[in-house]
Structure 1
């Protein structure tokens, strides 16, 4: 793209595994999107510098970066990666006038207004109510949680860490699995099971409860064996994963009063849904989402969607810069 159509703004999205960057056009679109492996760089400043060196455009003046981590002051220690850095030192190193970090799921929430109908896939029924709260949840390396709360003139995003709230089981086997996880961890959050990092622990705990021996598998191996149906334990593990996500999503909907709908992001669920077996669509997610006793009808009226856009958090970071 010609440099005279590019702004001096940069959008970023940093997870536990990959960092994504893009230049922003004058009309707010994304350009020259690149994905970098976090493990290849000493920190986010080095990753961003590598991106700028490889991309074409004017010298940047401002950047907004979503990151899979809470932001509380200048110092950032990532939960699911080894990076520890100062935001101000990074701003000076890159030579930016302004540098903002926001929780990656806050950025994802900000992207919702930018999504087209083709960027989401409905799971179950329900109709979104206008001017109602909206929830966002999704398993990637960790489990992100956010939302949008209606306020005067629009919506305000939530910057929280709901993925670290205590996990809730709904069946005897789930409760037994959670008990097994408590023997391993002092606190069992939803992220301990419903995430990429948590999936191997969920797999091992389910094997323990069922009295089975299970090989130590990586998250992609567990998912692959579940999707092709070659390993019954992996199938059961991924089914439990989807059900536990349904419980967490329903709890978020009730907490926020999210009658505007629940959006599911992250890297795992879209892949499950896109598989030829439609694994996620045929899982117990939606049934579990609606299974809330006296409030089942309330939840049945709330739509749930999978975000299928390729880089929605980058859209959210760009939207943040536009709002500023």
Structure 2
């Protein structure tokens, strides 16, 4: 097993405190590295002082800074961070949008930057900027105890893995094994057309089409989608829909204080099961399908008891095939850091001509 694989495994279980083991890895010879996961609302930043040793994790509000460079400099200039890392030569940043070319424009944020310009402005020698979903995908094989299995099945080593994240949107991807390591698939699978499987979901689809000509899976399996499903079910049941946010709907469902809200979340879980099952058979994801994002994690045991797993397996002649594939909820606090660490290590290895580590 290569050094890169070992240090990703350690990083995947790291928390805000430095990772410590009896065989604590030596510090990087060129100093700590910056890891950052930037969303539309918050930027999560940390130092990686050695393979698998992450510390100084902080969450900064994006709107408090005029640029990403300003946020990075503010973090690196903090007394405790500067004491631990007077000079940071290398960094890796995961951005919540596809990264194509040098110029990055945030979709739901005012930040826009040139990767080369950001590297020079912050004084990095090497700076990797990647889609955060690719970083998350590359962390999957190394989450170890930072995941919770829902239902049965057993992962087959060195086989494709699926990844779904339902949050403000719906992201779908896969991780494919190759002779040189894992490859994350760039995908916009969340925009595939929604596929209803029962009369209730057909009614939800009809309602959604009144507002949107095309109804993708993301229209319904996301934060705004949950609000849409709630309104659709209220219309179907002939009751008035209250002006509830997704947080209101989830809270009422978890408290058991609103049958319509509970039905909404049950519909969400079932529809997500269909998407996950479709992804599993499309990729041949016998290594498992992983679920991330705040919605599923906040549902907790309510999600485990839902129709998700039954719907995941409900594929006619392929029920037995899907029954053997495990599904997991990601429980790691900062799972994208593991993938970022792998990407940066690989960039640095390529810089000095080292071959990539072999597949586990």
Same topology, TM > 0.5: yes
Cross-structure match for 1:13: 37
Q: Would the aligned equivalents of 2:128 and 2:343 in 1 still touch at CA under 8 Å?
A: no
Asked if 1:323 corresponds to 2:334, the answer is no
Indicate how the Cα distance of structure 1 residues 88 and 219 shifts in structure 2: closer, same or farther if over 3 A, else same: farther
**Are residue 107 (structure 1) and residue 135 (structure 2) matched?**
yes
Q: Which moved more, 1:8-17 or 1:257-266?
A: 8-17
Task: List 4+ stretches of structure 1 deviating above 4 A.
Answer: none
In structure 1, distance between residues paired with 2:129 and 2:283: 24
**CA spacing shift, 1:43–1:287, aligned 2, 3 Å:** farther
Moved more, 240-249 or 146-155: 146-155
Partner of 1:38: 62
Is it true that 1:285 corresponds to 2:313 in the alignment?
A: no
Change (3 A) 1:100 1:126: same
Instruction: For residue 73 of structure 1, give the secondary structure of its aligned residue in structure 2.
Output: coil
CA RMSD after TM alignment: 2.0
- 1:69 corresponds to which of 87, 97, 104: 97
Residue in structure 2 matched with residue 309 of structure 1 by the alignment: 332
Note the C-alpha offset of 1:46: 2.7
- Residue of structure 1 in register with 2:51 after alignment: 27
What SS does the corresponding residue of 1:208 show, helix, strand or coil?
helix
Distance 1:256 1:129, change over 3 A: same
Task: Please report how far the alpha carbon of residue 144 of structure 1 lies from its aligned counterpart in structure 2 after TM superposition.
Answer: 2.1
Distance 1:166 1:14, change over 3 A: farther
Q: Could you tell me whether the CA contact under 8 Å between 1:70 and 1:103 is conserved in 2?
A: yes
* Correspondence 1:87 to 2:141: no
TM-score, normalised via structure 1 length? 0.91
Alignment partners' CA distance in 1, 2:206 and 2:341: 42
Gaps of 5+ in 1: none
Q: Contact (CA 8 Å) 1:21, 1:314: kept in 2 or not?
A: no
Match of 1:183 among 210, 219, 222: 210
Q: CA deviation at 1:80?
A: 4.2
CA distance in 2, matches of 1:176, 1:306: 29
TM-superposition CA deviations, 1:88-130 (whole Å, max 9, x none) = 33223322223222221211111123322x2111100011112
User: Match of 2:177?
Assistant: 150
1-structure distance, mates of 2:193, 2:112: 26
Superposition deviation, residue 50 in structure 1: 2.4
Query: Contact 1:15–1:141 (CA<8 Å) still a contact in 2?
Result: no
Aligned match for 1:260, one of 287, 292, 301: 287
Structure 2 unmatched runs, 5+: 1-17, 19-25, 348-360
C-alpha contact 2:173 2:189 (8 A) present in aligned 1: yes
Q: 1:149 to 1:215 in 2, by over 3 A?
A: same
- Structure 1 residue 37, shift from structure 2 partner: 2.4
User: Cα deviation per residue 1:222-248 (whole Å; 9 max; x = unaligned)?
Assistant: 111110011111111111111111111
Which of residues 244, 258, 276 is equivalent to 1:231?
258
Secondary structure (helix, strand or coil) at the match of 2:197 reads coil
**Pairing of 1:156-171 with structure 2 (within 5 A):** 156-171=183-198
- Give TM-score scaled by structure 2 length: 0.82
Q: CA deviation at 1:5?
A: 4.5
Residue of structure 1 aligned with 2:249, choices 222, 228, 240:
222
Give the corresponding residue for 2:238. 211
Deviation at 1:262, TM superposition (A): 0.6
Task: Name the residue aligned to 1:131.
Answer: 158
1:280 aligned counterpart, secondary structure: helix
Alpha-carbon spacing, 1:202–1:59, altered in 2? closer, same or farther (3 Å): farther
Q: Does 1:78 align with 2:102?
A: no
Q: Decide which structure has the larger Cα Rg and report it.
A: 2
Aligned length: 317
The match for 2:7 is none
**Distance in 2 (alpha carbons) for counterparts of 1:244 and 1:153:** 35
